[in-house]
Structure 1
């Protein structure tokens, strides 16, 4: 019978039920105002925000593997969605219109199909092409776009058109038209949310602000004083079925939008699932989660709402409330269903500046200054890329930003593979390896050069690798009689690199020197045998370890090896001078 139990619920204990229900109620208190606020980003009717945490959450609970991941509307995917619909051949559409909503639902269906294909074709690794640093920059850019986008609603002024800079200029030049009652609701909401965060962090300030604002708005009839309210909403079940008013011709322009959402969904959801599973010593099946996310987006598309994603913020809340499993998310879905069936009329007088302020805070939270500082401290080149991604997202567009983020992640990966760490190795008096950054004029010992290369050898770096080794050989203080290539940090070699190794072996042999390999794993050795590299060497010149290769050199050397092969002072001084000129020695 256990095979019929959803993976996220296997091993469920009865003692968890009360905790899960309480956590689900708290989660609903946060999710209801948040998801309603996200509709202002996606530019769809407010009621559709509640739809995102109804059927999609239940479907993910049944199909996914993560015990805690909360699936629903997300600010980043909502921003990609709105930006894509406004730019890719669909600019004539009117936001909030039925056709706009139908296209957002169609995009959710396309995301569901792409996620399913990713699972069938084992393409889940595509999410890994968004590096952690670039993801920080991307979400920071989304956060800036999100919180600045809420300013008109919070100030009671019309939204500007054009790019981000034009919109901000419109806001600045319209400050004389600010609605004081509207601003008062926004400021009060911010004060309540931030106050509860500081004093009572376990109480969701957003739901307190929503309840109080509805009461005040109902008593004071704020709409008569210029404060925009949500207005009447159609309650009941979401509309079930394919989106109306769209056809096959709408799919091609939406594919790029759906693909951008798809990449972010995999990257963000996988990172969130792994993070929280690790905290609790649990194993998460990312491929199974992709199936769950596929089902959740298909459910969203078939129930009249927009793209859904794994939410780090709501998952964090669930974890803080000691939620154990997807029963908490199911509880949240039940609460939302009750609201849809019986209480949508209560939300009629909800002031829009309150929702704007809620999303404003969410946008601020996405701006990860602390994360950027950590990236800066660890590797400045990655921080520059993260900042560039952030600026590109809000200045050019979120969808274009996700493309740039993937491209920059790939470029940074190739850059590190193209110029990886390179060392000249030796052994100290105790027989332990010594490492010095490789630079012309260095040697491991008179007549010996042990070279370590810390990356795959492939077409992009193969010639550079060969040139580096040849330069080390020709610039060594003493004629090199043995070149030992430490392969312990070379996982793989492609055909181009195999050809480069062929040429390098020939170069070494033509200088009447020995070429030896050390530290090969079985797969790498098999690859080099297929490429014919091993056949070029003497059978005895392939060693399990660098230490054994150095011992073989010692036995063949006419002069005894110094105690520290890497300690030749003349070479060290020459190496230091050359290393000062080498840019890679100053990488952070």
Structure 2
């Protein structure tokens, strides 16, 4: 029996009987939430609605046996769907067989990349996107998704993947708006927003707890779906249409290698965004139970989920915040809840696809808009503006590029903005003039504290590692400080904040020492960290600065001061 249990994921062996009720309830609740989401996100990706069903079942099954998040629900998401549409629309017509084939391969490629990164323990790659850039990207993408659904809400098809393209298409089709579609879509949107706004108070007044009321309101899109399917046949509203019943036919279409190469870079960025989303959700849920998350394990699990989604006829997937939170709030204790959800989706695929054919497309558009409106937040911009103006500029730049260029180009721009912001900051390090706090061995910034200084001695602390990006700036700043403060005979470079130096920085230190010698100034080094000391020794600079390297700033002070200057 032990050998058999070892073949299953850890939660199977640790399962408790009293978990069962919560897992069953959560599985059913998430199924009701996932049904409209899977259909809507497939349409958002430019795919037939059954692709959303296929992309919902396989990842749930795979993550249950490979992931570690007890309530993580992996499947289609709005941002991933928009990224998929933005990528594939450049290579094929939406709805065509080529488009579907590319969607499968996009999921498989992104899954293989995630799997490879996880096996190589590259979980840190999520740090390529800074928090302000990621917040700006998410906000702009949510706005784009909302705007993209205004067309379907009114019975229109608005081609394009960026704000200018949609505005132009809306202007060109201004006379084609369908009043019946707009009425149905607006009514569904009003229902969803009204339930979100007034529903909690109404349900709590009926005696429900806050947690139960929140879970019930999360599945409100199902009510909108049912209402839409009950519309009289005479209403001229575009509907989903026939949905194939049962499982997809297992087939992986072949595409040219050149097309795979075209998909490689978009697949990487989709993998990156999916991983960041999934990891943040997993960490949020783990914190509730004082658990930890293994980023590399999540990479592997998410990679397997995407490969499974592609092989099953779906498209790229990730851990969904709303579904996962609902899963946890509804009582999920283990991944058995996801297995129940997968079973519920399979029942729908076999028994209820006929009813889905009557589902109005404006209702699906309304569910997307209602779910994404809460993501339109600019609080992160205000916080960045107050804390660090460079982060605020990065936020605004990323937000604007996503709107103007689309999410696929916007995410690449976001990564570049993150890296450019990092390089800009490190290329202009803070340099402080230090003095000794009277009566102590502590040295602080002269501009912030009352300190004492040695005549003819300049103590400078560089608050950044030294490398090719800032070596020239540091050299110029140090020489400028020496020139501004007359009578300097010794300069002490305090390196307590320097964690590394590269070859360019070593050359800079040699040149700086030579330039100061020619000006009659002696350069000293203090508080050099061990790894930096090793580099200086290997590069031969330790011998150059022999007798001018000090263990601490206080040691340098005592060495350079006269007998009456270093007494405390």
Same fold (TM over 0.5): yes
Aligned in 2, Cα 1:23/1:488: closer, same or farther, shift over 3 Å? Answer: farther
Runs of 5+ consecutive residues of structure 1 not aligned to the other structure? 564-588
Alignment correspondent of 1:570: none
Corresponding residue SS for 2:416: helix
Alignment correspondent of 1:331: 340
Alignment correspondent of 2:565: 560
Alignment correspondent of 1:451: 460
Confirm whether residue 272 of structure 1 aligns to residue 272 of structure 2: no
Residue among 534, 550, 555 paired with 1:548: 555
Superposition deviation, residue 403 in structure 1: 0.9
Aligned in 2, Cα 1:291/1:535: closer, same or farther, shift over 3 Å? Answer: same
Corresponding residue SS for 1:67: coil
Residue among 405, 428, 445 paired with 1:435: 445
- Asked if the contact 2:224/2:363 (under 8 Å) is kept, the reply is no
Alignment correspondent of 1:126: 125
Superposition deviation, residue 286 in structure 1: 0.7
Confirm whether residue 304 of structure 1 aligns to residue 316 of structure 2: no
Corresponding residue SS for 1:515: strand
Aligned in 2, Cα 1:437/1:37: closer, same or farther, shift over 3 Å? Answer: farther
Moved over 6 A (4+): none
Spell out, residue by residue over 1:506-549, the C-alpha distance to the aligned partner (whole angstroms, 9 max, x if none). 34455555533333332222122212222222357331x33333
Aligned in 2, Cα 1:351/1:109: closer, same or farther, shift over 3 Å? Answer: same
Alignment correspondent of 2:365: 356
- Asked if the contact 2:283/2:293 (under 8 Å) is kept, the reply is yes
- Asked if the contact 1:206/1:358 (under 8 Å) is kept, the reply is no
Q: In 2, Cα distance between the equivalents of 1:358 and 1:430? A: 68
Number of paired residues? Answer: 549
Corresponding residue SS for 1:282: coil
- Asked if the contact 1:72/1:308 (under 8 Å) is kept, the reply is yes
Q: How does 1:14-33 map to 2 (within 5 A)?
A: 14-33=17-36
Aligned in 2, Cα 1:11/1:416: closer, same or farther, shift over 3 Å? Answer: farther
Superposition deviation, residue 13 in structure 1: 4.1
Alignment correspondent of 2:99: 100
Superposition deviation, residue 58 in structure 1: 2.0
Q: In 2, Cα distance between the equivalents of 1:512 and 1:9? A: 75
Superposition deviation, residue 102 in structure 1: 1.4
The farther-off stretch of 402-411 and 69-78 is: 69-78
TM-score normalized by structure 1? 0.86
Superposition deviation, residue 75 in structure 1: 1.8
- Asked if the contact 2:156/2:177 (under 8 Å) is kept, the reply is yes
Q: In 2, Cα distance between the equivalents of 1:52 and 1:380? A: 41
Superposition deviation, residue 218 in structure 1: 3.2
Superposition deviation, residue 320 in structure 1: 3.6
Q: In 2, Cα distance between the equivalents of 1:212 and 1:540? A: 77
Superposition deviation, residue 305 in structure 1: 0.5
Alignment correspondent of 2:204: none
- Asked if the contact 1:147/1:362 (under 8 Å) is kept, the reply is no
Q: How does 1:532-543 map to 2 (within 5 A)?
A: 532-539=540-547, 541-543=549-551
TM-score normalized by structure 2? 0.89
Alignment correspondent of 1:185: 184
Alignment correspondent of 1:581: none
Residue among 325, 331, 336 paired with 1:316: 325
- Asked if the contact 2:525/2:548 (under 8 Å) is kept, the reply is no
Alignment correspondent of 1:526: 534
Alignment correspondent of 1:569: none
- Asked if the contact 1:52/1:72 (under 8 Å) is kept, the reply is yes
Corresponding residue SS for 1:53: helix
Alignment correspondent of 2:386: 377
Aligned in 2, Cα 1:288/1:216: closer, same or farther, shift over 3 Å? Answer: closer
Superposition deviation, residue 360 in structure 1: 1.3
Residue among 475, 484, 504 paired with 2:512: 504
Alignment correspondent of 1:400: 409
Q: In 1, Cα distance between the equivalents of 2:489 and 2:19? A: 69
Corresponding residue SS for 1:425: strand
Superposition deviation, residue 436 in structure 1: 4.3
Residue among 484, 488, 491 paired with 2:499: 491
Superposition deviation, residue 291 in structure 1: 0.6
Alignment correspondent of 1:573: none
Aligned in 2, Cα 1:162/1:344: closer, same or farther, shift over 3 Å? Answer: closer
Alignment correspondent of 1:41: 44
Q: In 2, Cα distance between the equivalents of 1:337 and 1:460? A: 56
Spell out, residue by residue over 1:201-253, the C-alpha distance to the aligned partner (whole angstroms, 9 max, x if none). 514546434345435533512xx3211111221121233342x2534343122
Q: In 1, Cα distance between the equivalents of 2:452 and 2:502? A: 28
Superposition deviation, residue 124 in structure 1: 3.4
Superposition deviation, residue 334 in structure 1: 2.1
Q: In 2, Cα distance between the equivalents of 1:383 and 1:512? A: 44
Corresponding residue SS for 1:252: helix
Q: In 1, Cα distance between the equivalents of 2:184 and 2:217? A: 14
Superposition deviation, residue 457 in structure 1: 1.0
The farther-off stretch of 33-42 and 251-260 is: 251-260
Q: In 2, Cα distance between the equivalents of 1:326 and 1:377? A: 42
Spell out, residue by residue over 1:368-420, the C-alpha distance to the aligned partner (whole angstroms, 9 max, x if none). 22222222222222122222212221221211111101111110010111012
Aligned in 2, Cα 1:541/1:150: closer, same or farther, shift over 3 Å? Answer: same
- Asked if the contact 1:8/1:62 (under 8 Å) is kept, the reply is no
Runs of 5+ consecutive residues of structure 2 not aligned to the other structure? 201-212
Q: In 2, Cα distance between the equivalents of 1:3 and 1:535? A: 60
Corresponding residue SS for 2:534: helix
Corresponding residue SS for 1:452: strand
The farther-off stretch of 162-171 and 395-404 is: 162-171
The farther-off stretch of 472-481 and 347-356 is: 472-481
Q: In 2, Cα distance between the equivalents of 1:12 and 1:436? A: 61
Confirm whether residue 232 of structure 1 aligns to residue 231 of structure 2: no
- Asked if the contact 1:210/1:354 (under 8 Å) is kept, the reply is no
Superposition deviation, residue 450 in structure 1: 2.0
